[in-house]
Structure 1
């Protein structure tokens, strides 16, 4: 029993550190989707993330982002709620369930499943960086995580190249 409590404490502390670390300024550097149409320019799932903010030990996560439609940037905030196993749920362009897959001090990858109003499920990868740039290792990570979700490499959009929103 004592060993279990120690393991639970260690994982709990690790989780708190991770939750604290993801709050801050982030930029979307790449998005991948099994339905590439959903993340094209002028589509609402092409989110240019600007900030992540954890609340209540990251049981709630605000995602502050810009969406550019018809040349107009709109700042939006959605609040995800932890539904267990490190998965957050929010509602934006349907229902989203997302999980942090990889984290370093300057790079994050989220896996997201979006189910739109018509019931269509889209599997997505959002890669975020502290800067609007990628190095070769991060690009390989994006390709690997996309491939692990059966998202073809040609469906990766390197959106930091087209991000003109404030």
Structure 2
């Protein structure tokens, strides 16, 4: 899973919020799909620019990720490189497009998880909100000092493990 950091967490949360509030969403469009919307947030490229760059190579996001080569010179590979700089992995991008990361899905109630559809705006929002929450928890865990952890134990506050 992605390296938790505040910039990535905010970008995922902002993407989910924009989708929830009506941002353009079209699963079959490289710039307006699951990865395309996050790419807009991370790279500040438009959906049209992302789509245009992606069309210079063949395939959807999953195929683009499989064929990713940081030194190819293709704009889509440069864009993916930029996204990876935020702490994402290629696996994160493939999972986002299919809404398939098991650690994220396991945090969604089973009855809801069983209904997840990779090309549903509402499901993408739920997946991203859950993902951001996990990343936030991981970031807090990785950045709490031993003194903060001990204080939480003494005050009987929840300690994320």
Find the structure with the greater CA-based Rg.
2
Structure whose residues are more often helix by fraction? 2
Same-fold call, TM cutoff 0.5:
no
Point out which structure has higher relative CO (alpha carbons under 8 A, 6+ apart): 2
TM-score normalised by structure 1 residue count: 0.28
